[in-house]
Structure 1
Amino acid sequence: MFTNSERFAFDTRRHHAFATTGNAYDASQCDESIKTGDTLIVLPERVIAVAMTWPFAVTAEAGKLHSVAPPRKGETLADIARSLHVTTADFEHAAELARCLGFPLDSNLVPLLPA
């Protein structure tokens, strides 16, 4: 039998789908239901992104969203996540969704993400 802590041991993820990356950017700035770390999905542009003040794509295509700068020597995914005020799990979830959809990932992130 599961204890309550085992039964409810899961992370929730919020996804927001948009017609364009411009719409996703605008919504992330003014829609209070979109929180930092939420996943933004823009199927027509093949973009998966992470919401924050400056929403950034984890996919090769970014559209009107930001891209992550190339990592500095020795910089880890945890370092980048911390600097952007998101979690490594936010990056990893968005990247896994992009992979499942067949969207190419941002080449700057590929070496930092789990295979």
Structure 2
Amino acid sequence: MTASPTPAPDLRVHHFDTTEEAYTQTQCSDDIRDGDVLVIGPEKVVGFLREAWPVALTVRHGELHTLNIPVGQLHDGKYASSALLATEQARELGVALRDDHAPDVKPTVREIGDMIQVSAEAAAHVSGDPDAENPLWKAALDRMTHAHVFLRKHHPAWAEATKVSEPASAKGHAPRHADHPDVLAALPVLDGLRAAPLTNEHDMGDHSDTDLPVHGYAIEPRGRGLIAAYWLHRGLARRRDDHPDGPLLESVHARFVAAGWAVEPLRPNSVCVFAHRPQPTG
């Protein structure tokens, strides 16, 4: 481990050969303080120490933890200086920060190229070992998702080349949510239950809707790992105390509990199940 001077007088940059070494040193070295930046060049990982937890701001994170919210929102911006210093270190390394942690600046060609590599590596893992219960698979899906978000925003040619036509309908979710990471994570949980065929225009709360054949579960992403899961009958979302289909919400609820999601309690008048997606850990 080596330390180098930084523009911020109260923060230091620490360099490591592996994320495992970085994690260990943050737990036992008094030289690494809250907010200090961690650079693991060989693994292309950059992050900082958040109190006792080393977290990565890059899509690759190795043994480090990840953040579930943008770093700018963490503790009312407490780590803004750390993020700024991490950005400088990442640019020197030629890797981009995850888009929800990155400053609003145009990425370099090297950073875009590295993110394309991240996307390819993660996609190979996701497609080659599809197991939604495997934490390594979930972590690869998370990396692929954030790489795609970054590339769609910063690499128009890549976005156009990977764009696919949106189907008119999809089972268990609206077509516009087909590639949403929280929807993709929720679908295996409900495998075996009937999925409602939905269009982007379907309104599950409109009693004048004539989509009578629409029956089964429907998933909607609500952001930051939260999904709402409904049970539809004749096109409408049914409350838990509706019969005969309302009690099926209890089955949906039980599925997410068994899968390790953080699930909010059901009430008699609940119209959906709110479940928080398990987050990958470093």
Normalization by structure 1: what TM-score? 0.73
Which of the residues 3, 13, 16 maps onto 1:15? 13
Instruction: For residue 61 of structure 1, report the CA deviation from its aligned partner.
Output: 0.8
CA distance in 2 between counterparts of 1:86 and 1:26 reads 24
Q: Is the 8 A contact 1:48 1:94 kept in 2?
A: yes
Instruction: Report the counterpart of residue 88 of structure 2 in structure 1.
Output: 96
Runs of 4+ in 1 over 6 A off after TM superposition: none
CA distance in 1 between counterparts of 2:83 and 2:39 reads 13
Instruction: For residue 93 of structure 1, report the CA deviation from its aligned partner.
Output: 1.1
Which of the residues 67, 92, 109 maps onto 2:101? 109
Identity of aligned residues (%): 32
1:62-95 C-alpha deviation (Å, 9 max, x unpaired):
1000111144xxxx71x21x26x84201111102
Runs of 5+ unmatched residues, structure 2: 1-6, 106-282
Instruction: For residue 49 of structure 1, report the CA deviation from its aligned partner.
Output: 1.1
Give the match's secondary structure for 1:109.
Answer: coil
Give the match's secondary structure for 1:48.
Answer: strand
Q: Which of these two proteins has the greater Rg computed from alpha carbons?
A: 2
Q: Is the 8 A contact 1:18 1:41 kept in 2?
A: yes
CA distance in 2 between counterparts of 1:86 and 1:56 reads 14
Instruction: Report the counterpart of residue 79 of structure 2 in structure 1.
Output: 87
Name the structure, 1 or 2, with higher relative contact order (CA <8 Å, separation 6+). Answer: 1
Instruction: Report the counterpart of residue 44 of structure 2 in structure 1.
Output: 46
Give the match's secondary structure for 2:53.
Answer: coil
Q: How does 1:59-98 map to 2 (within 5 A)?
A: 59-71=58-70, 77=72, 79-80=73-74, 82=75, 86-98=78-90
CA distance in 2 between counterparts of 1:25 and 1:91 reads 18
Backbone CA RMSD of aligned residues = 2.1
Q: Structure 1 56/107 Cα, relative in aligned 2: closer, same or farther at 3 Å?
A: same
Instruction: For residue 100 of structure 1, report the CA deviation from its aligned partner.
Output: 2.4
User: How many aligned positions are there?
Assistant: 97
Q: Structure 1 109/11 Cα, relative in aligned 2: closer, same or farther at 3 Å?
A: closer
CA distance in 1 between counterparts of 2:23 and 2:38 reads 9
Letter in 2 for 1:88: A
1:24-52 C-alpha deviation (Å, 9 max, x unpaired):
01110110110011111111100111013
Normalization by structure 2: what TM-score? 0.32
